[in-house]
Structure 1
Amino acid sequence: MAEAKVFRNYDAPDVSVAVREHYRKMRKNQTVDYVQRMQEKYLTFDKPMDLWEAMRHLNRLIDVSDPDLDLPNVQHLIQSAEAIRADDRPDWMQLTGLIHDLGKVMFLWGSDEDGTSQDEQWGTVGDVFVVGCALPDSCVYPEFNPLNPDMQDPRYNTPTGKYEPGCGIDNVDLAWGHDEYLYQVLNHHATNTLPEEAMIMIRYHSFYPWHSGGAYTELTNAGDQRYLELIRDFNKYDLYTKSQQVYDLEEVLDYYQPIAEKYLGSGPIYW
């Protein structure tokens, strides 16, 4: 019997130095101040671009934080969507699988300084965490947590930090990245009719310290349990479908385009 593939093993001998360095930079630079600046800078919704043009741009991006896959990111999106489709899940979930990483197109107008470029991705990809409260040990490479300047600030270095206990995941600020970016873009897209479940999957799929690590119990509320179930369901397709199988976007376009138009309309999306 073939040995089952192990995913997200950040201590494996073949994990690149670049992955570890990515998380060191992410932990050092993703502060409350940084996240606020990125929200102001990138949530402008003034760059019209067709959904499929955005997909094609991800042929140029390899996620440096991913220890499991070194293919262009568009391949991961199609792999996820096709697995959801094979399981006969709802069409909106298939579309969610196809687009959940599209926020990574931020690299087109990003910068090295912000960590949002093709070369410097610590502001775009990787497991996100809550800024403004203590960093948990469930973060990847927790030894980098003390590098974060906020951890020396008494306003931000307690379990609840700047938040009210039990405030709920929707009311905290996460490290800046492609999840929140796409969520906000779609939230401001006039013809978006994706169900709430899809938006939750998009917004929190990289929030591993919470949905897989069990952290932030001081901040969560009763409603977050439903979020947790949705994210873990989606995670089966986001994580465990990664392979070296290569798809041609143009060959699956005929199937997914009508679904995209059903939920997002046929006009451009404003990034």
Structure 2
Amino acid sequence: MEEKTFRNYDAPDVSVAVKEHYRKMRKNQTYDYVQRMHKKYLTFDKPMDLWEAMTHLNSLIDVSDPDLDLPNVQHLIQSAEAIRADNRPDWMQLTGLIHDLGKIMFMWGSDADGTSQAEQWGMVGDVFVVGCKLPSSCVYPEFNELNPDMKDERYNTTTGIYEEGCGLDNLELAWGHDEYLYQVLNNHKENTLPDEAMVMIRYHSFYPWHSGGSYKELTNEKDKEYLEIIKDFNKYDLYTKSQKIYDLEDVREYYQPIAEKYLGKGPIYW
């Protein structure tokens, strides 16, 4: 596929489910909802081996993705193998392999939260900042007006509840697999992944910022470095998608020592 064929949400073959996913996401992902999800899911009390978590993603197809309808673990291996083929550092290869692993949330999620196989609007898709005005760079911007926060004067201005130039790390983003995995790894005492890897994990779905150019009022100098990191990672996240099928066990022998190097040998607490 050529790059221009990816993320075409207006293409005739984009499923109704993709558009409906974004409608629900925009309607339900409010500032208060995000606070509730942090409290509910950031408990770090569910130990699970990395490879078991990877295996569970064989059961999940990301409904928000207009480009790929394979189990999510295939996308992870495709990303990692492309990074490996380019001889990028081992930590970046591992980051490619695990960057969507926060979607494991569906194992203990619920339809009501949008964190289940059936209802994924609280788990996958492009994220945006909650607590300030939704930008037109969001996918299907016509759904922005459905968000209750856009009728709340605390949240419907360009900066909303934030100070100008506060930086990405001080913003609250829509709840999803990025923030979940970031927080899980941040809590994981054996995690020695470099800061660049954590940036890739936390912000790779933040398309209105890294691809749409929005939120300039809120970003700072540090975020310029973040942007370069994300753009570098993005070509492996997005442009490696294909119908090629891998067997997780076939690549595990190569990636397991790297995973143990940066994440240890014990379970991760989700």
TM-score, normalised on structure 2?
0.99
Number of residue pairs matched by the alignment: 270
- 1:1-271 matches, cutoff 5 A: 6-271=5-270
Q: Which amino acid aligns with 2:76?
A: L
Q: Which amino acid aligns with 2:253?
A: D
Shift of 1:4: 6.1
Q: Which amino acid aligns with 2:244?
A: Q
Change in CA separation of 1:3 and 1:182 when aligned onto 2, cut-off 3 Å: closer
How far, CA to CA, are the matches of 2:122 and 2:114 in structure 1? 4
Change in CA separation of 1:186 and 1:3 when aligned onto 2, cut-off 3 Å: closer
Q: Which amino acid aligns with 1:149?
A: P
Q: Which runs of 5+ in 2 are unaligned?
A: none
Q: Which runs of 5+ in 1 are unaligned?
A: none
How far, CA to CA, are the matches of 2:191 and 2:2 in structure 1? 42
C-alpha RMSD of matched pairs (Å)? 0.8
Q: Which amino acid aligns with 1:107?
A: F
SS across alignment from 1:228: helix
Q: Which amino acid aligns with 1:267?
A: G
Shift of 1:220: 0.3
SS across alignment from 1:106: helix
Identity of aligned residues (%): 83
Post-superposition Cα deviations, 1:39-82, rounded to whole Å, max 9, x if no partner, equal 00000000000000000000000000000000000000000000
How far, CA to CA, are the matches of 1:8 and 1:203 in structure 2? 20
How far, CA to CA, are the matches of 2:160 and 2:67 in structure 1? 33
SS across alignment from 2:14: coil
Q: Which amino acid aligns with 1:154?
A: E
Shift of 1:3: 6.4
SS across alignment from 1:223: helix
Shift of 1:245: 0.3
Q: Which amino acid aligns with 1:32?
A: Y
Shift of 1:248: 0.3
How far, CA to CA, are the matches of 1:140 and 1:32 in structure 2? 19
Post-superposition Cα deviations, 1:126-180, rounded to whole Å, max 9, x if no partner, equal 0000000000000000000000000000000000000000000000000000000
TM-score, normalised on structure 1?
0.99
Q: Which amino acid aligns with 1:114?
A: D
Shift of 1:219: 0.2
Q: 2:128–2:138: 8 Å Cα contact kept in structure 1? A: yes
How far, CA to CA, are the matches of 1:5 and 1:114 in structure 2? 33
Post-superposition Cα deviations, 1:175-210, rounded to whole Å, max 9, x if no partner, equal 000000000000000100000000000000000000
How far, CA to CA, are the matches of 1:171 and 1:4 in structure 2? 32
Change in CA separation of 1:221 and 1:4 when aligned onto 2, cut-off 3 Å: closer
Q: Which amino acid aligns with 2:222?
A: G
Q: Which amino acid aligns with 1:119?
A: A
Q: Which amino acid aligns with 1:108?
A: M
